[in-house]
């Protein structure tokens, strides 16, 4: 059994003192000769302190990474669901080998601290409940961003103060552990395929030697935000293969999940993705196919596929969201959510259903729909 995680809970790296390993290129002005490279991987020699953040993290919510219940609450707050990620813009402070890391300008905007495990038999708002405690049984650690591979050594320890527990099946735990292991192996293999520390160091040294101080930062970090149209074949096919494998394992282990193929162009803040996938729900025992397009543009996102279409936009400070979705069979649903972190994380969601009825879920007392736990 493990406790649920709610909006106020603190998520942090459990490695003392809150450190993560990241690649390092010094800020300009650069030395005239590239610095000598350590024998160990650069990522093992360059450590940053990552700030603890709430499960509700404004940039993560604004950019669609946070996943919370909208009509089921514990202590008057939303509960983390499958796919939850504290999200981007988690503060980093470089501490070794020096604080002047150019790549910190990449690490902060693209940061991640995400859920790996769920209780597939405990559904809230139609999704599996997230399990985010490393010190529990079975352990269900979160993964934080680091290099050369993400590490499953983060947790939401304040969730121990909550009073609602959920139970993972062995299949739930195995599916999560398998996905972690497969992801780490993939990242390590792609790191070695890209030349490992030697090629990274040579590339960094070349940029340092050839770039003028005013141009170097844009040259080093620009590609991380602009993204790409044509992907490198080997990394793409490897990523798709691991994704399909972990999806298939989850379906076999838990009776639910999805498996498919996708191709995305663009970067982390402006992208368009085409995909086709098969998904299965253990509550109904039924499977379905879906294919179509989805995209993001900052805080906005949309989709058009064989099941329906929709568009949504999140408040830039994480204070709520508005969305319209249309199911080809059921009709149109509009949803508006307000989050007030200064009033005990007061959540209010107003939904206009396809049949014309309106429902209101309020995390504080007096709601006619909310389900307090």
pLDDT at 29: 61
Q: Round to whole Å and give the CA distance between 52 and 47.
A: 16
Contact status, residue 81 vs residue 65, Cβ threshold 8 Å: no
The count of domains in the chain is: 1
Its domain, for residue 224, covers: 2-372
Residue-wise pLDDT for 48-101, tens only, equals: 889 999 999 999 999 999 999 999 999 999 999 999 999 899 999 888 777 878
CB atoms within 10 A of CB 84: 27
Q: Round to whole Å and give the CA distance between 373 and 361.
A: 14
Q: In 3-state terms, the chain is what percent helix, strand and coil (to 5)? A: 25, 40, 35
Q: Round to whole Å and give the CA distance between 130 and 241.
A: 25
Q: Round to whole Å and give the CA distance between 220 and 197.
A: 16
Q: Round to whole Å and give the CA distance between 273 and 81.
A: 23
Instruction: Kindly list the distances between the CA atom of residue 317 and the CA atoms of 37, 108, 219, 314, in Å, as whole numbers in the listed order.
Output: 41, 17, 30, 8
pLDDT at 38: 42
- Any residues with CB less than 8 A from the CB of 265 and at least 6 apart, and which? 227, 228, 229, 271, 272, 273
Spatial strand order in the sheet of 113-114: 53-54, 10-13, 151-155, 142-144, 113-114
- Any residues with CB less than 8 A from the CB of 343 and at least 6 apart, and which? none
Return left, alpha or beta for 55; rule: phi > 0 is left, psi -120 to 50 is alpha, else beta. Answer: alpha
pLDDT at 206: 56
CB-based burial label for 10 (10 Å; 0-12, 13-18, 19+): middle
**Average of per-residue pLDDT values in the chain:** 87
- Any residues with CB less than 8 A from the CB of 186 and at least 6 apart, and which? 238, 239, 242
Contact status, residue 42 vs residue 201, Cβ threshold 8 Å: yes
CA-CA-CA-CA torsion for 321, 322, 327, 331, nearest 10 degrees?
140
Mean pLDDT, contiguous 10-residue spans, the chain (373 residues): 95 84 71 44 66 96 96 94 95 83 87 95 94 94 91 95 94 97 94 70 54 58 77 92 96 94 93 96 88 96 96 96 95 96 92 93 67 66
Chain centroid to CA 178: 18
* Long-range interactions of 283-292: CB distance < 8 A, separation 24+: 283/123, 283/256, 285/255
Contact status, residue 211 vs residue 219, Cβ threshold 8 Å: yes
Residue closest to 262 by CA, chosen among 225, 285, 291: 291
Helix (H) or strand (E) run with residue 264 in it? strand 257-266
Reduced to 3 states (helix: H, G, I; strand: E, B; else coil), residue 98 is coil
Whole-structure pTM value? 0.88
Q: Round to whole Å and give the CA distance between 347 and 320.
A: 9
pLDDT at 59: 96
According to DSSP, residue 31 is labeled: P
Contact status, residue 11 vs residue 142, Cβ threshold 8 Å: yes
Q: Round to whole Å and give the CA distance between 121 and 334.
A: 28
């Amino acid at each position: 059994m493990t406790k649920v995680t709610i909006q106020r809970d603190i998520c942090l790296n459990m490695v003392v003192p809150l450190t993560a390993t990241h690649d390092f290129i010094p800020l300009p002005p650069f030395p005239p000769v590239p610095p000598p490279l350590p024998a160990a991987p650069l990522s093992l020699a360059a450590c940053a302190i990552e700030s603890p953040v709430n499960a509700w993290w404004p940039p993560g919510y604004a950019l669609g990474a946070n996943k919370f219940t909208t009509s089921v609450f514990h202590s008057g707050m939303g509960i983390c669901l499958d796919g939850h990620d504290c999200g981007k813009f988690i503060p980093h402070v470089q501490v070794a080998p020096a604080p002047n890391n150019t790549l910190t300008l990449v690490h902060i905007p693209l940061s991640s601290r995400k859920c790996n495990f769920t209780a597939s038999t405990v559904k809230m708002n139609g999704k599996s409940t997230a399990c985010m405690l490393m010190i529990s049984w079975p352990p269900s650690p979160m993964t934080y961003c680091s290099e050369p591979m993400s590490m499953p050594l983060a947790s939401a320890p304040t969730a121990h103060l909550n009073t609602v527990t959920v139970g993972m099946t062995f299949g739930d735990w195995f599916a999560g552990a398998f996905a972690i292991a497969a992801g780490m192996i993939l990242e390590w293999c792609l790191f070695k395929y890209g030349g490992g520390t030697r090629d990274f160091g040579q590339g960094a040294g070349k940029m340092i030697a050839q770039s003028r101080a005013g141009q170097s930062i844009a040259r080093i970090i620009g590609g991380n935000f602009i993204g790409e149209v044509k992907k490198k074949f080997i990394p793409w096919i490897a990523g798709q293969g691991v994704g399909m494998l972990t999806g298939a394992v989850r379906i076999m282990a838990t009776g639910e999940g999805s498996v498919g193929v996708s191709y995305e162009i663009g970067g982390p803040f402006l992208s368009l993705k085409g995909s086709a996938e098969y998904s299965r729900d253990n509550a109904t025992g039924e499977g379905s196919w879906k294919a179509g397009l989805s995209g993001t543009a900052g805080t906005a996102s949309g989709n058009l596929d064989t099941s329906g279409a929709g568009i949504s936009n999140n408040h830039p400070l994480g204070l709520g969201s508005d969305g319209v979705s249309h199911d080809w069979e059921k009709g149109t649903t509009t949803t508006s959510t307000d989050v007030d972190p200064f009033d005990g994380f007061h959540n209010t969601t107003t939904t206009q259903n396809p049949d014309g009825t309106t429902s209101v879920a309020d995390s504080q007392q007096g709601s006619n729909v909310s389900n307090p736990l």
